[in-house]
């Protein structure tokens, strides 16, 4: 089965969040099921060295007015199809979407409509003889791919995956023709969204099937509280929607072999985790005391992640002698609120504003628990890294957090199944209670060690979920074959 992934991010090359982790890991898991997956990505400067070792497989002619081509290259265990269009992607700046000043590039609609057009041209012309059986588009940046396939009456089916419905890719309706869109599709059942063009909606209505990254988020997406205006569109396609929970790359995220931590460990050598804890405390200028848990946060600092609630819950955390190490970047008011907390509570709260992959590994290895008070969370990956590293997740009961963490309440403890702490509703008092409950669990050191070991043994890899994607792809292909028979 030949699958074309199309996405705007892919770890380890270019990453702003979990989308990159998924696009970097899932193809390898699918390959072990026999799939031939190629990943189409814009050729950003971060991929220039990879492209240097590749070769042209398709001349795309003019794309958004200038020449473009696809370059095939292999790196990090992935087969890449790099979309070389320097006028769109060869730019200095803050990652894939932002100018050096941190604003969205004004031509993001053109930049990612081009990605969609390149998908359709590849499906039509092939890449040096490679023709995909199915296109799997990730998030709004790739979602015009399925639309353009439909617009061209292609028989190649597609799947659009929603990683986060908060990002929809809206563009001014007047841009439509210049993006390559036939404006006959600009209506409520097409890509029109409250008077604008929505890239994500285009993918959702044009794809053969839709998926998202956890079963609970799949249900939530059909509700007005979570669907962000697309709940009706998604509910109308409820029968075509699947929720498949994300896995993690268990080779990159392996506490037994992690090169970014001072003392590699496993479930049977937990005393070594204490050395990572000491290193983490030192790095953040925190007291190394073991009387209370050391919590960590590794996150985009945005409203989605609920970290404003944590600011207000800090007195409860500090009142129990616990400590917090936070790594994140995002909204200016949250950045400054956490920096202010660190200044007023030296030794108890440590904050690093920025993006630091290696430090995130040390934090997962050294902290006792990871706090994730998200208002919504399609899947979430940091709780899965937490489980793998025996750093107990303390999570809001929403989306993928609800699906991947088992609350260590009395019944779960009696049954020997808890792996973390969940709370609901997502409010400051409920978060405070969850923090206090975590401190109580931590105080029983034998119980805590048992919880930690159990967390580390949870299956968080891609095996099961990759098998589910294979079944989904097979279903899509069989339905397509029946329809054309």
> Does residue 155 sit in helix, strand or coil?
coil
364, 258 Cβ separation under 8 angstroms: no
- With binding defined as CB under 6 A, does residue 163 bind ligand GLC? yes
Query: How many CB atoms lie under 10 A from the CB of residue 189?
Result: 10
Question: Beta partners for 329?
Answer: 300
The residue (of 147 and 284) whose beta carbon lies closer to ligand ADP is 284
Residue with smallest beta-carbon separation from ligand ADP:
18
CB of 86 to ligand GLC, least distance (A): 28
Q: Which of 72, 143, 134, 81 is nearest to 112 (CA)?
A: 143
Nearest distance, CB of residue 352 and ligand ADP, angstroms:
8
Long-range pairs for 173-181: beta carbons < 8 A, 24 or more residues apart: 173/197, 175/109, 175/110, 178/110, 179/109, 179/110, 179/113, 179/144, 180/113, 180/116, 180/117, 180/144, 180/148, 181/113, 181/144, 181/147, 181/151
- Tell me the closest approach of the beta carbon of residue 387 to ligand GLC, in angstroms: 14
Q: How far is the CB of 404 from ligand GLC (least distance, A)?
A: 10
DSSP conformational letter for 8? S
Task: Provide the total of helices (H) and of strands (E) in the chain, helices listed first.
Answer: 20, 18
- Asked if residue 17 binds ligand GLC (CB under 6 A), the reply is yes
- Counting contacts by CB under 6 A, is residue 286 touching ligand GLC? no
Provide, rounded to whole angstroms, the least separation between the CB of residue 40 and ligand GLC.
18
Q: What does the alpha-carbon distance between residue 359 and residue 197 come to, in Å, rounded to a whole number?
A: 39
Judged by beta carbon, residue 79 or residue 300, the one nearer ligand ADP is: 300
What is the closest distance, in whole angstroms, from the C-beta atom of residue 246 to ligand GLC in the complex?
A: 5
Stretch of 12-20, 108-116, 192-200, 453-461 lying at the interface with ligand ADP (CB under 6 A):
12-20
Our CB check for ligand ADP shows the closer of 298 and 369 to be 298
Q: Does 466 bind ligand GLC (CB under 6 A)?
A: no
Q: Which residues contact 250 (CB under 8 A, 6 or more apart)?
A: 388, 460, 461, 462
Determine the Cα–Cα distance for residues 406 and 397; give it in Å rounded to an integer: 10
When asked if residue 17 is in the footprint of ligand ADP (CB under 6 A), the reply is: yes
CA distance 15 to 94: 11
Q: Please say which residue, 216 or 276, places its beta carbon nearer to ligand GLC.
A: 216
- Helices 108-125 and 199-206 sit at what angle, rounded to 10 degrees? 30
Q: Which are the contacts of 268, defined by CB distance < 8 A and separation ≥ 6? A: none
Q: Does 360 bind ligand ADP (CB under 6 A)?
A: yes
| 213, interface contact from ligand ADP, ligand GLC, none, CB < 5-8 Å by kind | ligand GLC
Per-residue HEC secondary structure of 126-138 comes to: CECCECCCEEEEE
93 contributes a contact to ligand GLC by CB under 6 A: no
Q: Which of 380, 390, 393, 418 binds ligand GLC (CB under 6 A)?
A: 380
Nearest-approach distance from CB 422 to ligand GLC, in angstroms? 16
Binding mask 293-332 toward ligand ADP (x if CB under 6 A, else -) reads -----xxx--------------------------xxx---
Binding segment toward ligand GLC, per CB under 6 A, in 24-32, 98-106, 171-179, 375-383: 375-383
Longest CA pairwise span in the chain (Å): 70
Contacts with ligand GLC, residue ranges (CB under 6 A):
17-19, 22, 163-164, 213, 246, 377-381, 400
- Site of interaction with ligand ADP (CB under 6 A): 17-19, 21, 298-300, 327-329, 355-357, 360, 379-382
């Amino acid at each position: 089965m030949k699958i074309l992934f199309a996405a705007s991010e892919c770890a380890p090359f270019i990453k702003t969040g979990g989308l990159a982790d998924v696009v970097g890991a899932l193809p390898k898991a699918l390959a072990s099921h026999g799939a031939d997956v190629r990943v189409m990505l814009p050729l950003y400067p971060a991929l220039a060295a990879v492209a240097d070792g590749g070769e042209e497989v398709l001349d795309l002619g003019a794309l958004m007015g200038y020449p473009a081509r696809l370059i095939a290259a292999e790196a990090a265990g992935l087969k890449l199809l790099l979309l070389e269009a320097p006028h769109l992607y060869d730019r200095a700046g803050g990652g894939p979407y932002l100018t050096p000043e941190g604003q969205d590039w004004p031509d993001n609609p053109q930049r990612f409509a081009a990605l969609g057009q390149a998908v359709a041209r590849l499906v039509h012309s092939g890449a040096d003889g490679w023709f995909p059986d199915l296109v799997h588009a990730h998030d709004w940046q790739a979602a015009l791919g399925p639309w353009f396939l439909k617009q061209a009456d292609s028989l190649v089916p597609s799947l659009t995956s929603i990683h986060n419905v908060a990002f929809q890719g809206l563009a001014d309706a007047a841009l439509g023709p210049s993006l390559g869109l036939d404006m006959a599709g600009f209506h409520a059942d097409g890509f029109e969204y409250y008077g604008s063009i929505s890239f994500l909606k285009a993918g959702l209505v044009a794809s053969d099937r839709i998926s998202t990254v956890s079963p609970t988020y799949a249900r939530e997406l059909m509700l007005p509280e979570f669907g962000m205006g697309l709940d009706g569109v998604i509910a109308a396609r409820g029968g075509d929607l699947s929720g498949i929970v994300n896995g993690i790359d268990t080779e990159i995220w392996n506490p037994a072999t992690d090169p970014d931590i001072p003392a590699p460990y496993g479930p049977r050598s937990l005393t070594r985790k204490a050395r990572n804890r000491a290193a983490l405390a030192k790095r953040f200028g925190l007291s190394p005391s073991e009387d209370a848990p050391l919590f960590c946060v590794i996150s985009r600092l945005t409203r989605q992640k609920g970290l404003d609630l944590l600011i207000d819950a800090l007195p409860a955390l500090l009142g129990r002698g616990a400590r917090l190490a936070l790594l994140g970047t995002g909204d200016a008011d949250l950045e400054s609120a956490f920096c202010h907390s660190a200044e007023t509570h030296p030794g108890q709260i440590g904050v690093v504003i920025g993006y630091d992959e290696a430090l995130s590994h040390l934090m997962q290895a050294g902290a006792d628990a990871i706090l994730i008070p998200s208002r919504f969370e399609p899947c979430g990956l940091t709780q899965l890294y937490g489980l793998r590293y025996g750093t107990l997740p303390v999570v809001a009961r929403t989306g993928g957090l609800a699906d991947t963490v088992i609350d260590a309440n009395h019944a779960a403890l009696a049954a020997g199944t808890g792996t973390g702490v969940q709370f609901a509703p997502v409010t400051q008092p409920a978060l405070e209670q969850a923090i206090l409950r975590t401190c109580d669990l931590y105080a029983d050191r034998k119980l805590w060690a048992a919880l930690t070991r159990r967390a580390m043994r949870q299956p968080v890899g891609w095996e099961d979920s990759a098998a589910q994607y294979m079944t989904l792809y097979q279903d899509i292909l069989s339905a397509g074959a029946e329809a054309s028979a």
